[in-house]
Structure 1
Amino acid sequence: MGVYEELIERGLIAQVTNEEEIREMVNAGKATFYIGFDPTADSLHVGHFMALCLMKRLQEAGNRPIALVGGGTGMIGDPSGRSDMRSMMTIEQIDHNCECFRKQMSRFIEFGEDKALMVNNADWLRNLNFLDFMREIGPAFSVNEMLRARCYVNRLENGLSFLEFSYMLMQGYDFYMLYQKYGCNMEFGGDDQWSNMLAGTELIRKKLGKDAHALTITLLTNKEGKKMGKTASGAVWLDPEKTSPYEFYQYWRNVDDADVLKCMKLLTFLPIEEIRAMEGWEGAELNKAKEILAYHLTELVHGREEAEKADSAAKAIFAGGGVSENMPKLCLEDADFTDDSIDILSILVRAGLSASRGEARRNVQQGGVQQDGKKITDITRRYARADFGEGLVFQRGKKNFVLVKA
């Protein structure tokens, strides 16, 4: 099985331009491809993780990845799939986020001479002369076609600013520049990016008279909206300071039964034959598959040592072993206390077990919160500083634990 056929088998291909030529290039290791990452935060998240795994897989097959960070496009913001306009970031925030991305990506992709490249589109976008750009690029874009693009559908209903409308031109220009500067002959992206990606291939064809190809990958964060990549406390980050290795492990350990094998195919580097053998697993076997998924992905992102810790902590807790040294911990600070005490709702939010006080209230009222194995039913329950002693274990649901100390 060639690498392209494996991408299909793993469910990564949504649609392509000229499949036969792309198949030959990818299988022969002759693709120089890029995936764009807009720096909307100072850490990559699960959605990016899926793209990074694809880049790693293709690099191992001899193809050359280009990780394009959006120091330029990040100043506008991609309107794809959104119903409102993104908040404007300062240039300092954008540059900081780009640098954070660079460090995290190095865990997955091998950068260096004749290897992967990391490029920032700020290099050509920030200093563009508006009139020169419009004279050069504007004639290649049809407004009628742009208005029919999927990426603008939600925004047209609620109002689309010209700032966001220009995003397609920026993304198309990225491919145009990468094609000329680095011989980039292929673009990968989420299936919601198809219109933007075709803009780049058309721009190259019209301006240079040459062929380029866009290949989309199906990311769960794009295809299934907000379902994947979210927890009670927010997004699942690759930065261990934002999402601990244990929380990362737990996220994958708790995926829906229907998504286990899908995630294995998309994200792990387990042989496809080994994954196929799990297709009939149910009950305890399916739980074992979830442990395999969680361990492999935690090892990939955080290393073997952290994966071992997370795995042992999870098993100790589920076996009723009480406190584990590898359990997520929270140390409350002076500012968390009012009159030397803190209420249960504040503890749940600070521990990341609930996303807000409103959600924490519902968790308690619905019987989903425990402290040291005992259900808490009083939403006004308060804890004095002295109550914490060596630490109290708070639990939401069956699998979310935090050891809280003062």
Structure 2
Amino acid sequence: MDLLKDLKWRGIIYQQTDEEGIKDTLSTEKISLYCGMDPTADSMHIGHLLPYLTLRRFQNAGHRPIVLVGGATGLIGDPSGKSEERKLQTIEDVQRNVQGLQKQLRQIFEFEGENGALMVNNYDWAGSMDIVTFLRDYGKHVGINYMLAKDTIASRLETGISFTEFTYTILQGMDFVHLYDKHNCRMQIGGSDQWGNITTGLELIRKMMPEGPKAFGVTIPLVTKADGTKFGKTESGAVWLDPEKTSPYEFYQFWINTADADVVKYLKFFTFLSHEEIEELERAVQEEPHLRKAQKALAEEMTRLIHGEESLEQAIKISQALFNGDVKNLTASEIKQGFKDVPSFDAPADEEAGLIDLLVAAKISPSKRQAREDVGNGAISVNGERVTDTNYALSAADRIEGQFTIIRRGKKKYYLIKY
């Protein structure tokens, strides 16, 4: 199956500026194409992934991806999807964010070989441009009525939009012109909210390049969940690619908790599994959903892609330990990941503690009477080992790497004792 048919099968294509032109071009030549992102934070979250994974599919098919992080446009702010002005960032903040995003994007693309990816920052060509050059060389080609017809601008007219954000679409269009001229970039990929900015770039290419338009734009759909809630959000917030913001275990758990109604769509969108593999997993969802084969495959593919094989193995180990209650073999690092959100209690590092007193102090049991009942009934485990002795005292031997003791009350209620 060719690339375009594969993208359509996966449901990835939303809009195309010239479907026949794109089809003819891709069938006869290998092209350079780009996708861009503004550095509003120092990490991507999973809502950013689909355009870049789509760009990677083009690379796998032999085309050359250009990966743009907008050090210049990030100083302005895209009005797309916003009801008010974006708070402007300092140049130092933007450049720090650029470096963080570029590091993550290097995980997704191959930068060596004949069609190795090219990493660019639009601050390199737009940052030093003077206002007269901007107005004469670019502003002259974009009519006010054309810009007012853009949804991202029209939606802000009543609430107000600054000239700064009003010009954003021209700045992004400049990127396409620059990459087209300097790197023969023939296509831009973006989310569905970027259609207006993509077409501005094509408009500038049409007017500024003597050979006429030879470029295209493609947008991908907004990722949604079957129940109508927002994709990529959890109770604790966004699911980040930065392991310091969202641990590999949390990242893995996000994907493995995907609903049956969404998992096949996400396998098509986000993984590089073949059609046959995905169709087999789709049958598993229908015939044996309790095994959650599709969710496991999705979680493994995504965690391996973003965090690597070692982090995937660690996430699986933590998941199995929590499920089975066999937590004593976890390392301190793994405990920090797996028990990040469980109730915790800071205990003195230089004292032994009676288990009953500790259960009350850590509010695991509401009273000493209840604590004795819990221990006597076998409801309390220390590092996965059931304790029934009401006189049990925790010692240094109960501390994992000298830092943690894991208490479980009942089957699923975990508590973390920190020293």
How far apart, in 1, do the equivalents of 2:164 and 2:181 lie? Answer: 26
**Percentage of identical aligned residues:** 44
Listed one character per residue, the Cα deviations across residues 109-148 of structure 1 (whole Å, up to 9, x for unaligned) are 1124742101110011111111221122123212223222
Q: Which runs of 5+ in 2 are unaligned?
A: 350-361, 363-380, 383-398
Is residue 287 of structure 2 the alignment partner of residue 287 of structure 1? Answer: no
How far apart, in 2, do the equivalents of 1:207 and 1:61 lie? Answer: 30
Following TM superposition, by how much is the alpha carbon of 1:84 offset from its aligned partner in structure 2, in angstroms? 2.3
2:197 matched residue in structure 1: 196
Q: Which runs of 5+ in 1 are unaligned?
A: 341-346, 348-370, 373-387
Following TM superposition, by how much is the alpha carbon of 1:98 offset from its aligned partner in structure 2, in angstroms? 1.0
1:32 matched residue in structure 2: 32
Say if 1:256 and 1:124 are closer, same or farther in 2 by CA, change over 3 A: same
TM-score by length of 1: 0.79
Asked if the contact 2:188/2:216 (under 8 Å) is kept, the reply is yes
1:317 matched residue in structure 2: 322
Three-state SS of the structure 2 residue aligned to 1:220 is: coil
Listed one character per residue, the Cα deviations across residues 295-342 of structure 1 (whole Å, up to 9, x for unaligned) are 11101111112112212321332244456623425699xxx98xx9xx
2:184 matched residue in structure 1: 183
Listed one character per residue, the Cα deviations across residues 48-97 of structure 1 (whole Å, up to 9, x for unaligned) are 22222222221111000000110100001111111222221110111111
How far apart, in 1, do the equivalents of 2:159 and 2:110 lie? Answer: 42
Say if 1:111 and 1:222 are closer, same or farther in 2 by CA, change over 3 A: farther
Structure ID, larger Rg: 2
Matches within 5 A, 1:7-406: 7-28=7-28, 30-112=30-112, 114=114, 115-209=116-210, 210-211=212-213, 212-220=215-223, 227-280=230-283, 281-282=285-286, 284-285=289-290, 287-321=292-326, 325=330, 326-327=334-335, 328=337, 390-392=404-406, 403=416, 405-406=418-419
How far apart, in 2, do the equivalents of 1:225 and 1:112 lie? Answer: 41
How far apart, in 2, do the equivalents of 1:126 and 1:222 lie? Answer: 39
Three-state SS of the structure 1 residue aligned to 2:15 is: strand
Listed one character per residue, the Cα deviations across residues 128-171 of structure 1 (whole Å, up to 9, x for unaligned) are 11122112212321222322222235433422111111110101
**AA matched with 1:107:** Q
Asked if the contact 2:318/2:338 (under 8 Å) is kept, the reply is no
Asked if the contact 1:175/1:201 (under 8 Å) is kept, the reply is yes
Following TM superposition, by how much is the alpha carbon of 1:276 offset from its aligned partner in structure 2, in angstroms? 1.9
Asked if the contact 2:226/2:262 (under 8 Å) is kept, the reply is no
How far apart, in 1, do the equivalents of 2:127 and 2:203 lie? Answer: 23
**AA matched with 1:46:** I
Calculate the aligned-residue CA RMSD, in Å: 3.4
**AA matched with 1:313:** I
The aligned length equals 360
How far apart, in 2, do the equivalents of 1:255 and 1:153 lie? Answer: 36
